[in-house]
Structure 1
Amino acid sequence: MDATEHLEASLAAAIALANSFGAEWSQGRRQLAGDGGVVEAALRLTTNRVVVVDDSALTEFAEGGKRLYRALNLLADGSVDESAQELNELLQATRAAPQLLRQMGSPWHLHFSAPGVSEATGWLAEFTTAAAMLLGSSDQQLLRACTAERCDNLFLDATRNHTQRFCSTACQNRTKVAAFRARGA
């Protein structure tokens, strides 16, 4: 995985974690309280391996996910300065400190957390750094909020012409069916 792919994976994981704990509605359903499974699914997006999350870390992931959602939602709404302020506060709270590390038999790789922080704080530092890098790039306008009714999910528009409006085909289909029914009524 090259550096750009890792950043994209970290950003995808950040958005997934943020949606899991920050969005009130997701794809037409009221969002349930997140559990270790949603955290593990988000982490799997960046590691490509199964990561087991200790229940004691869930509260920290939940709080961090809510803060990330707030910051990313502000960015998607075009409130860049407010988003930057939220992200800066989260970067400070997680003590994000990029450094190169190598584990036995592995190549050097970049970690974003300071020594001595919890595993959850380390992951949140990485995700916040990825979100901050998005804010500082020309791609920040690709972060969007789903336009479907009863969906508060955020997503990165990956379409070629940058016109994606929905976080998923489920939201797109629900919207099209509702419009069809409204025309027939």
Structure 2
Amino acid sequence: MTIEAWRITGQSQIDSYVGRWAEQAVTLVNTLTVDRARGRRIEPPADGPARLSAIGDLASALSPSRPLTTGDADRLAEVAAELRPVFGRTPEFGTLNAALIRHGAVPHLQGDPPRLAFHREDADPVDAWAASAATAMAMVIGVGQGVRLRSCEADGCDLVFFDVTRNASRRFCGLSCQNRAKASAYRARRRD
């Protein structure tokens, strides 16, 4: 059973809407910008068709109204690179603020039944996604939970994650990086 971030005690300020957008931002950043994962060098997709293929199922979630194009995929790679600095020990808030402005983050109600969206009504799918994701990340930071937007601390891994642990103590993107870091620390202690 997966525990959703907004259901964990102590995270009442992060609702389901914000949690989903933060997770989508993590997926996009990891898929389109990371070149080192779990101790191995990887090649992020280099062009529109490869990027569109790499984001796969996420593409339909990002743009349910129309299929994404290769040009949209290239723009999403730019957005992912723009959001990447927000994850880590010292997040770059200026970058996030610039993204909010550039992509026209404006709250409004849309649909029937109405739901809150954080982009202009006439925004294209990339700007709509970028504005909503940047707003969600700003909301996480704004309620004092910015420490949950993390980057893996293991050597050779640049993956980012949204920490949903109860006490926001997660340091690694996954078990493989945690095991590699612990084994490396053990070998270093044995050498000394």
TM range (shorter): 0.7 to 0.9
Q: Which residue of 2 is the match for residue 24 of structure 1?
A: 35
In the alignment, the residues of structure 2 paired with residue 171 and residue 63 of structure 1 have an alpha-carbon distance, to the nearest angstrom, of 27
SS in 1 for 2:116: strand
In the alignment, the residues of structure 2 paired with residue 41 and residue 32 of structure 1 have an alpha-carbon distance, to the nearest angstrom, of 20
Is 1:107 the counterpart of 2:113? The answer is: yes
Q: Which residue of 1 is the match for residue 177 of structure 2?
A: 171
Work out whether residues 18 and 67 of structure 1, in 8 Å CA contact, stay in contact via their aligned partners in 2: no
SS in 1 for 2:171: coil
Moved more, 120-129 or 169-178: 169-178
Aligned length in residues:
173
Is 1:85 the counterpart of 2:91? The answer is: no
Residues 112-127 of structure 1: pairs in structure 2 closer than 5 A: 112-127=118-133
Structure 1 residue 179: Cα displacement: 4.1
Q: Which residue of 2 is the match for residue 57 of structure 1?
A: 72
The amino acid that maps onto 1:77 is R
The amino acid that maps onto 2:21 is S
In the alignment, the residues of structure 1 paired with residue 186 and residue 101 of structure 2 have an alpha-carbon distance, to the nearest angstrom, of 48
Structure 1 residue 42: Cα displacement: 4.5
Moved more, 83-92 or 24-33: 24-33
In the alignment, the residues of structure 1 paired with residue 96 and residue 122 of structure 2 have an alpha-carbon distance, to the nearest angstrom, of 21
Instruction: Give the aligned CA root-mean-square deviation in angstroms.
Output: 2.8
In the alignment, the residues of structure 2 paired with residue 89 and residue 66 of structure 1 have an alpha-carbon distance, to the nearest angstrom, of 13
CA deviation string 1:78-99 (max 9, x = no partner): 35xxx22111111111111111
CA deviation string 1:7-33 (max 9, x = no partner): 101011112212223333122222322
In the alignment, the residues of structure 2 paired with residue 145 and residue 161 of structure 1 have an alpha-carbon distance, to the nearest angstrom, of 16
TM-score (norm 2): 0.76
TM-score (norm 1): 0.79
The amino acid that maps onto 2:103 is T
List alignment gaps of at least 5 residues for structure 1: none
In the alignment, the residues of structure 1 paired with residue 58 and residue 174 of structure 2 have an alpha-carbon distance, to the nearest angstrom, of 16
* 1:138–1:43 Cα change, 3 Å: farther
Work out whether residues 79 and 130 of structure 2, in 8 Å CA contact, stay in contact via their aligned partners in 1: yes
Structure 1 residue 101: Cα displacement: 0.7
* 1:151–1:42 Cα change, 3 Å: farther
* 1:182–1:18 Cα change, 3 Å: same
In the alignment, the residues of structure 2 paired with residue 53 and residue 42 of structure 1 have an alpha-carbon distance, to the nearest angstrom, of 10
* 1:9–1:39 Cα change, 3 Å: same
More helix by share: 1
Is 1:129 the counterpart of 2:135? The answer is: yes
Identical counterparts, % of pairs: 28
The match for 2:52 among 36, 45, 51 is: 36
In the alignment, the residues of structure 1 paired with residue 110 and residue 29 of structure 2 have an alpha-carbon distance, to the nearest angstrom, of 27
Work out whether residues 60 and 121 of structure 1, in 8 Å CA contact, stay in contact via their aligned partners in 2: no
* 1:178–1:142 Cα change, 3 Å: same
